[in-house]
Amino acid sequence: MPVETSLPARSVVLSLYRTMQIIRQTEEELARCHQRGLIHGACHTYVGEEAIASGVAAHLRREDVVFSTHRGHGHALAKGMPPKELMAELFGRQTGCSRGRGGSMHLFSPEVGMMGTSGIVGPCILQACGGGYSFKLMKTDNVAVAFFGDGATNNGAFHEGLNMASIWKLPVLFICENNQFATEVPFSYAAGNPDVGSRGAAYGMPGFTLDGNDVLEIHRVAGEAVQRARTGGGPTLIECKTYRTRAHAEGMGDFTYRTREDVEEWKQKCPINRLRRTAVESSQASAADFDAVESEITTLVKDARDFAEASPWPTAESASRNVYSEGAAAAIAAPPPATRSITFTQATHEALAEEMKANPLIFVMGEGIGIRGGNFKTTAGLYDLYGPERLCDTPICERGFVGLACGAGMTGTRPVIDFMFADFVLDSVGEIINQIAKMQYMSSGRLKMPVLLRGCIGIGHSAATHHSGNYYGMYAQVPGLRVVVPSTAADAKGLLKHALRCDDPVLFLEHREILSIKGPVPDGDYEIEFGKAAIVRPGTDVTVVALARMVHLTLSVCDDLQKSGISVELVDPRTVSPLDVDTILQSVHKTGRLLIVDEAFGPCSIASEVSAQVADRGFNDLDAPIKRINGAFTPTPYSPTLEKVVIPQPEDIARAIRELMAE
Amino acid sequence: MAFEITIPRLGWSMEEGTFVRWLKKDGDVVKPGDAVFELEGEKAAQDIEAVDGGILRIPATAPQPGTVVAVGAIIGYLVGDGEQIPGPAGASAPVQTAPVVAAPAPAPAAAPSVRRMARELGLNLADVTGSGPAGRITAADLRPARPAAEALVSVRSRIASPRARRLARELGVDWTRLPGSGRGGRVRAQDIMSATPATGAATTASVTVPGATIPISRHRRTIADRMTYSRQNTAPVTLTTRIDATNLVSLRQQFKAAGGDVVPSFSDIVIKLVSMALEKQPLMMAQWAGEQLVIPEQISIGMAVDTDAGLLVPVVRDVPSLSLMDLSVASGDLIARARTGQLKAGDMQGGVFTVTNLGAFGIDAFTPIINCPEAAILGLGRIRREPAVVDNQIVPRDQMSLSLTFDHRLIDGAPAARFLQTISQALETPSAWLLSSP
């Protein structure tokens, strides 16, 4: 055992002891409650690891932020969450820190800087980078801390996150709690280099390996790291070797992968007893001091349990609230008449430039969006105005910077992720669906998620299958996301402005083959609300619902059809989530016929959804079966002759309309 | 204090487990973390550790090895030295075993199509014995039970689009009797519209204030649908002409002066004369039916009636068979019933031509909309005494405008003009025409 040469002040020692006791006693009470059947889902305790959260959090201010893991009770308590809110959450009650929405693995208390725990391993590392990025942009000296287990260090998020934190010198502490098992897989088996602390060097940042049961040592090293972060010295990696002395989760068998003897041996290394012994031996504090703290906490935890048990259940009506932000919607002025014609790309550039000028919290991240101005000229000229922090070129690590955007959005800035091609961002779908989309809901609306994810979709010009994807249907299936698929320059500008002002995460998907199409765009400021379809062309005989490029292709056949007596009403939903079904239903009420033209794959698509909704709510208006034209259900081929046949062509659309009229 | 020993949940979805055995004996001292009993969950048997300490007390009613126990059940106690098992519960610890619930009788198995057939036949599937695999009810099983063979035929023989069914319901049309123009003979909205004469009504003459929203009545919707349908599916051309109506006015005055029970209206006289003109030019009542034009066998003529409920077009049947007086009685009855909302759907079906009169409102010429599936409609303007040149003299004469809209798809301009010319001659010399009628 290392010799503690100098102990911190008595108040610090007792404070560390107090935090550890809060964690230990709360966890033991939770274990008891789990056995009694009062906790409904999983319960991952932090027993044995208390020194780490306590030693690090002792240096944090309320404004500093913590991002944590599935084993996060200790982090929440150490950051200042009252035990009663934690217990009520695990009891599933309205008074819980996440209002009963999260349970053990989703603890949110942004009010005290506890930005959330996650059931997924890795994202907290990236979100802490986002917190650090926000603080850097807002020029505060706050720091962000990621707590994660040894399992996360073998995950891509670790690599991507540490690298980004290093190159941008972000004020972040990466605290690896190496408890030697990732769920039940030994780290000694799973890691080629089992020394995590030494990996700091691989990213150009200080790295430490500490005894994770020595709260004083953790406290000392973390203090230096926090100071370094606050003063612009960048990130630090700290590995704390420790052990959890209860099962992975309460109720799970524990001795199929480790022995009773091992557990017993580590119980003897209890960090709480160790601090007490050390302090008493060196006369820094007395046994009576510690006893007083312990008994105070016993009362606190008992009260917490009583509070939890007496708390009301959340109401059924609240189950679907806060999926999207519920702030008062600002009045949205109708677009003034258009007086000029510009391209789709020019229109979105105007929207971004105007909003960046108005809102200093907006920053753009992506590959080549800095000096270069974007592969599609999305940010041309903006770097000269706003510099590298707001026009931030990234390494090619989509998961990394999308996860960072999540953390930035949670901490007060407004990231714009320019991912160039929608295909690229598939590497970060976990961050989008599991984190970004769910964050407002899981925090019961206390966190906002103003993250804009933009990039190109669409087939054309032999881009082949990794630069052609249309994935809006997939995103539209996820509650919490807004999905925008504009077809015209005017719509693109108004919708992008709205995206940059709303508090919801938005996927803004731009069909590459229409970027240079010019269209009338109003001068001046305007927004277009999500969920309002456009009647592109009124008609009486058949309703065609089309998206993005398909709007243009459909429009190209309407005049010919009109000459043969078929009047087409063309509806462009503009956003697929929310989807304006009412406008489509009104149109079908008039025409009695519906064709959906969508370049994306057919199964479980927007076309399927529109069909189902109309078949359900508009059944009595249908004078013919609903028809769909989708892109071929195949990866996108390269050769022009192959590519042509997988995209709906104007003649396909015209034929389908004629056939529908004969039904 | 005494602590309860309860059955914990092992894994997320466990609701009950099997108690395997005690690992401590009654009276043993148990420390937190000691394994107390063995429990078999969904995955495997597991030693359950105490979360509290004390002396183990196992009540007589504790589960025997092999018993299924519910999560949360109390199976024992940890008590202090000399402490008793708390309360009466100690004597009979509430070991909960999983209740056996009788499954509800399953609904008889049948395919959706069979269920639909049963619904349509008004049969309860529970009353039918299934002959299919595992007692599944098949279509054949329904046949002996069905009340009438006819019912099944009518269920299966025809298809109509949902929109057509809705329109048929609204218009009181029996769509099962109509030929369908859609794929596979599907009856479509247009088939219902073609089979229905103009009907329906506008919104009632309710007070409308600026900014008010008026709900669209079903009648208004029907009028809108039919008007729109006509505009989109015909090639309407309107011809107008002015005629000398002096003789017509004079004839009506003679009927009045004669003092009979019935005085024919201008419209009655016009309808009669139009039927005679149609006999001369039957193409003017041709109807488009699939790949051919059909000339109706009977000349029945609709007359547009303005009512509080909106426009209605009752039909005077077989006009050539009626004397002018009979016609006048028939039209009077139809108008009265139209204005009191007593017209039946059948009163508004079967017309081959429509006469509409806006003269009472001071209108001269207008562009009437064809009442599909008819081919033409005649609009009557007001009759006004105006200066006219007769034999180089300016003399007062009764003048009237006629507006004939015809469907140019079926009828060319020249024959339509000839038809209007025929009507003009008839209206200018009504007595001669009426007296020459058989």
pLDDT digits (tens, 9 = 90+) for A239-266: 999 999 999 999 888 888 999 999 999 9
DSSP conformation class of A320: G
| Per-residue burial over A606-644, b = 16 or more CB atoms within 10 Å of its CB, e = otherwise | bbbbbbeebeeebeebbbbebbbbbbbeeebbeeeeebe
To which H or E segment does residue A454 belong? strand A452-457
Distance CA A50, CA A69 (A): 14
Q: A522 and chain B: CB distance < 8 Å anywhere?
A: no
- What's residue B148's pLDDT? 44
Strand partners, A522: A338
3-state secondary structure chain B: CCEEEECCCCCCCCCEEEEEEECCCCCCEECCCCEEEEEECCCCEEEEECCCCEEEECCCCCCCCCCEEECCCEEEEEECCCCCCCCHHHCCCCCCCCCCCCCCCCCCCECHHHHHHHHHHCCCHHHCCCCCHHHCECHHHHCCCCCCHHHHHHHHCCCECHHHHHHHHHHCCCHHHCCCCCHHHCECHHHHHHHCCCCCCCCCCCCCCCCCCCCCCHHHHHHHHHHHHHHHHCCEEEEEEEEECHHHHHHHHHHHHHCCCCCCCHHHHHHHHHHHHHHHCHHHHCEEECCEEECCCCCCEEECEEECCEEECCEECCHHHCCHHHHHHHHHHHHHHHHCCCCCHHHHCCCCEEEEECHHHCCCCCCCCCCCCCCEEEEEEEEEEEEEEECCEEEEEEEEEEEEEEECCCCCHHHHHHHHHHHHHHHHCHHHHHHHCC
Buried b vs exposed e over B99-123: b needs ≥16 C-beta within 10 Å?
A: eeeeeeeeebebeeebeebbeebeb
Are A538 and A517 in contact, with CB atoms under 8 Å apart? no
Nearest to A75 by CA among A146, A25, A137, A128: A146
Q: Under an 8 A CB cutoff, do B9 and A37 touch?
A: yes
* Binary contact (A624, B6; C-beta < 8 A): no
Residues with Cβ < 8 Å from B274, sequence gap 6 or more? Answer: B301, B319, B353, B355, B378, B423, B426
Phi, psi (deg, nearest 5) at residue A498: -65, -40
pLDDT in tens, A136-166: 999 999 999 999 999 999 999 999 999 999 9
Q: How many CB pairs under 8 A join A and B?
A: 72
Taking only the tens of pLDDT, chain B with its 438 residues reads: 788 898 888 877 788 888 999 999 999 999 988 899 999 887 778 889 888 889 999 998 899 988 888 888 899 999 988 888 776 544 444 444 444 444 444 566 776 667 767 776 767 777 777 777 667 777 777 765 544 444 433 333 368 999 998 888 888 888 888 888 888 888 999 888 887 765 443 333 344 567 666 767 767 777 888 888 888 888 999 999 999 999 999 998 888 888 777 889 899 999 999 999 999 999 999 988 777 888 888 999 999 988 877 888 999 999 999 999 899 999 988 988 888 777 877 788 889 999 999 888 889 899 999 998 899 999 999 999 999 888 888 999 999 999 999 999 989 999 999 999 999 999 999 999 888 875
Chain B contact for A541, CB < 8 A? yes
User: Which residue among A59, A467, A511, A552 is the active-site one?
Assistant: A467
Interchain CB contact of A337 with B (< 8 Å): no
Find the closest chain B residue to A254 by CA distance.
Answer: B46
CATH class of the region A534-662 = alpha beta
- Report pLDDT for A102: 95
Taking each helix axis as running N to C, give the angle between helix A271-281 and helix A287-310, from 0 to 180 degrees, rounded to the nearest 10. 150
DSSP secondary structure, A555-571, as one string = HHHHHHHHHTT--EEEE
Q: Which pLDDT belongs to residue A1?
A: 45
Find out whether the peptide bond into B106 is cis, omega within 30 degrees of 0. Answer: no
Q: Which residues partner with B289 through β-bridges?
A: B292
Contact B162 A622 (CB under 8 A): yes
- A537 lies within 8 A of chain B by CB: no
Every domain of chain A with CATH number 3.40.50.970 lies at 20-252+261-309, 339-522
Active site residue A467: yes
B385 and B299 Cβ atoms separated by less than 8 Å? no
CA distance B231 to B280: 27
- CATH 3.40.50.920-classified regions of chain A: 534-662
Query: Among A36, A567, A662, whose Cβ lies nearest the Cβ of B72?
Result: A36
Q: State the Cα–Cα distance between residues A148 and A176, nearest whole angstrom.
A: 5
Mean pLDDT, chain B, integer: 82
| β-strand partners of B404 | B239, B378
- List residues of B whose CB lies inside 8 A of any A CB: 4, 6-12, 14, 33, 41, 43-44, 46-48, 51-52, 71-72, 161-166, 182-183, 186, 188-190, 228, 232
Measure the CA–CA gap between A379 and A373, rounded to whole angstroms.
Answer: 5
Q: For residues A42 and A250, what is the distance between their CA atoms, to the nearest angstrom?
A: 7
Residue of B3, B6, B9 to mutate, interface with A, max A Cβ within 10 Å: B9
Pairing of the two strands B315-316 and B292-294: unpaired
Report the length, in residues, of chain B. 438
Rounded CA-CA distance B46/B48 in Å is 6
pLDDT at B112: 64
Quick one: tokens of B377?
């409609």
Domain boundaries in chain B?
Answer: 3-90, 112-195, 218-436
Which chain A residues contact residue B162 at CB under 8 A?
A: 619-623
Find, in chain B, the residue whose alpha carbon is nearest to that of A42: B12
Q: Do A663 and B183 touch (CB under 8 A)?
A: yes
> B229, B373 in Cβ contact below 8 A?
no
d(CA B389, nearest CA chain A) in Å: 47
Find out whether A571 and A535 touch, Cβ atoms under 8 Å. yes
Which superfamily does CATH assign the domain made up of B218-436 to? Chloramphenicol acetyltransferase-like domain (3.30.559.10)
pLDDT at position B14, please? 80
- CA terminus-to-terminus distance, chain A: 86
Question: Domain A339-522 - what CATH class?
Answer: alpha beta
The half-sphere exposure of A554 on its side-chain side, counting CA atoms within 13 A, is 32
**């689009």: which residue's tokens?**
B161
pTM for the full predicted model: 0.72
> Are residues A620 and B166, on separate chains, in Cβ contact within 8 Å?
yes
**What are B234-249's pLDDT values in tens digits?**
899 999 999 999 999 9
- Cis check for the bond before A578: say yes or no (omega within 30 of 0): yes
Interface probe for A, chosen from B40, B51, B166 (most Cβ of A below 10 Å), is B51
Residue B19 near residue B29, CB atoms below 8 Å: no
Q: What is the pLDDT of residue A407?
A: 98
CB contact under 8 A, B6 and A36: yes
Q: Which of A253, A541, A592 sits opposite B44 (nearest CB)?
A: A253
**Has domain A20-252+261-309 been given CATH number 3.40.50.970?**
yes
CATH architecture under which domain B3-90 falls: Beta Barrel (2.40)
Q: What is the pLDDT of residue B113?
A: 64
Q: Among candidates B177, B181, B199, which has minimal Cα distance to B190?
A: B181
Q: Tell me, yes or no, if the two domains B112-195 and B218-436 fold the same way.
A: no
Question: Rounded to whole angstroms, how far apart are CA atoms A349 and B116?
Answer: 57
Shortest Cα–Cα distance, A182 to chain B (Å)? 18
In this complex, which of A37, A42, A620 lies closest to B162 when CB atoms are compared? A620
Chain B CB within 8 Å of residue A37 CB: yes
ipTM score of the complex? 0.71
A594 touches A543 (CB < 8 A) = yes
Find the Cα–Cα–Cα–Cα dihedral B143, B145, B151, B154, rounded to 10°. -20
Low-confidence ranges of chain A (pLDDT < 70): 1-5, 328-331
Catalytic residues of B: 408, 412
A496 SS3 class: helix
Distance CA A453, CA A416 (A): 6
Give the per-residue pLDDT at B205.
Answer: 38
The CATH architecture that domain B112-195 belongs to is Irregular (4.10)
Adjacent-strand bridge partners of B379? B356, B403
